[in-house]
Amino acid sequence: MRVYSVSGMGGHRSRLPLAIVVAVVAAGAATMILRPRSGLIEPAAVEVEAYFSAAELDRAEDFRSLQRLLGLAGIGLSGLTLAIVALRPPRAVRGLVERAGRRPIRGAALVGAGLVLVLTVVELPLSAVRHERAKDVGLATQDWLPWLGDLAKSTGISSLFAAGGAALALALVRRFPRGWWAPAAGCVTAVGVLTIYLFPVVVDPLFNDFEQLPDGRLRSNVLELAERSGVDVGEVYRVDASRRTTAANAYVGGLGHTKRVVVYDNLLEDFPADEVRSVIAHELAHVKNRDVPRGLLWLALVAPAGTFLAQQLARRLRGEGWERPGPEVVPTLALSFALVSFGVGVGSNVLSREVEARADAFSIELTDDPAAHIRLERRLAVNNVGDPDPPSLLHLLFGTHPTTIDRIGIGEAYRSGAR
């Protein structure tokens, strides 16, 4: 592929607005295609003060407001660091990248892993403050040494993925200089499938211990709910989340033989049986509606437009230097993919919120116990020091679930007969 001159950049620049439009349309269309068509309950309008005391709301606001600012600062600091490395790299960085360029693909892997290490170090002070504040309110249970150990493990895993991704990206750019975005889209989808399939059995056990629910009342309840809802539940596991946090949660993960429902041990031990039953029913809804495979389908639909936008953005940011490039383009590619991922992620969150709302409705209808659902949502917010009604803009950008007050409203709507 030729090196773009200043005059030759005009055609390329005209493609960037088109690529943005295509990505927005693709994300919106995928969300519309896959959004729930039925099974939703419109939340009743409720007042947050009717369910939470002033002290509980003040505690959540005091904790979450600064945590949000620290989180946003971390995103901004990481983005700024990545932008500097990509667009105005210091002389020492340029020297390291030049030496890595002697073996381009291997060098790209080293640069990718190095970026993860740099960003981890840059974010470390803010991450440490967030952890200390979580300990202060009783949400985090880890001392500093175990916390740093987990951070080291997660950084190592992320570095391996970044190394592989950077090497693959550079190989595609060099092999398909004009159209590398197309095979890259297939790779993005394939990696998404593999990670969801493998993480429950390869990565997750590095951080926690998982055990199948033993025979007993809870297991019987799970099997009874699964039979009533016509769900092949796979397996239900208990995870020792209390080694790290007092927050209660549950989730569905895996594909095929690795499909599973995972429930936090502190949820099982600290919450009443009817509320645990409500949680299990919610997770069974995700299995019944095949929400994990549908999430992968959303990724497959959006990936081509996303990688095309990443290609056009990377060309705009770097300008020249795309003729048989070396590891020096990896930071620009990383910055481009990070920006695109953030943008299309907003569309993914819209879909996620509706999917979670449908799971809430399914849970309430399956258990026919809206009171337990309402008590559960209130208890989760208080226990997890969550903001039941967060700022609208932040929820729009980052929220993957309905707000607590909306989830309570779903229960109240069902209780009042508004199905």
The per-residue pLDDT for range 174-221, each reduced to its tens digit, is 999 889 999 999 999 999 999 999 999 999 999 999 998 887 777 888
The amino acid that residue 372 corresponds to is A
Calpha distance 224→194 (Å, rounded): 31
Q: Which CA distances in Å does 345 have to 52, 54, 364, 403?
A: 31, 34, 28, 18
How many CB atoms within 10 Å of residue 76? 11
The H-or-E segment that residue 104 falls in is: helix 104-136
Please report, in tens digits, the pLDDT of each residue of the chain (419 residues total).
333 333 344 445 568 999 999 999 999 999 999 999 999 999 999 999 999 999 999 999 999 999 999 999 999 999 999 999 998 888 877 777 777 767 899 999 999 999 999 999 999 999 999 999 999 999 999 999 999 999 999 999 999 999 999 999 999 999 998 899 999 999 999 999 999 999 999 999 999 999 988 877 778 888 888 888 888 877 889 999 999 999 989 898 888 889 888 999 999 999 999 999 999 999 999 999 999 999 999 999 999 999 999 999 999 998 876 778 889 999 999 999 999 999 999 999 999 999 999 999 999 999 999 999 999 999 999 999 999 999 999 999 999 999 999 999 999 999 988 65
Helix, strand or coil, per DSSP, at residue 253: strand
CA-based nearest residue to 246, from 380, 375, 138, 145: 138
Q: Give CA–CA dist 287/282, Å, rounded.
A: 9
Residue the block writes with tokens 């190095």: 114
Written as six digits, the tokens of 85 are 């490395």
- For strands 235-239 and 210-212, give the pairing: antiparallel
Task: Give pLDDT, residue 3.
Answer: 35
pLDDT at 2: 35
Domain coordinates in residue numbering, the chain: 9-415
What is the per-residue pLDDT for 314?
Answer: 94
C-beta separation of 296 from 288 below 8 A: no
- According to DSSP, residue 384 is labeled T
State residue 265's pLDDT score.
93
In the structure encoding, which two tokens stand for residue 225, read together?
């709910």
Q: Which of 43, 51, 31, 38 is nearest to 362 (CA)?
A: 38
pLDDT value of residue 89:
85
Q: If DSSP codes are grouped into helix, strand and coil, which group holds residue 250?
A: strand
Cβ-contact 186, 302 below 8 angstroms: no
Type and span of the H or E element at 264: strand 260-264
* Total residues found in the chain within this entry: 419
List the helix and strand counts (H, then E) for the chain: 14, 4
Structure tokens at 79: 């983005």
pLDDT in tens, 318-335: 887 677 888 999 999 999
Estimate the share of the chain in helix, then strand, then coil, as percent rounded to the nearest 5.
Answer: 75, 5, 20
134 burial via Cβ count (<10 Å: 0-12, 13-18, 19+): buried
Q: What is the pLDDT of residue 419?
A: 59
According to the model, what pLDDT value does residue 124 have?
A: 97
Three-state DSSP string of 106-118: HHHHHHHHHHHHH
What is the spatial distance between Cα 370 and Cα 376, in angstroms, rounded to a whole number?
10
- Identify which of 315, 256, 412, 355 has the alpha carbon closest to the alpha carbon of residue 39: 355
Report the distance separating Cα 121 and Cα 128, nearest Å.
Answer: 11
DSSP string of 219-259, one letter each residue: HHHHHHHHHHHT----EEEEE-GGGTBS---EEEE--GGG-
Contact 235/254 with Cβ under 8 angstroms?
no
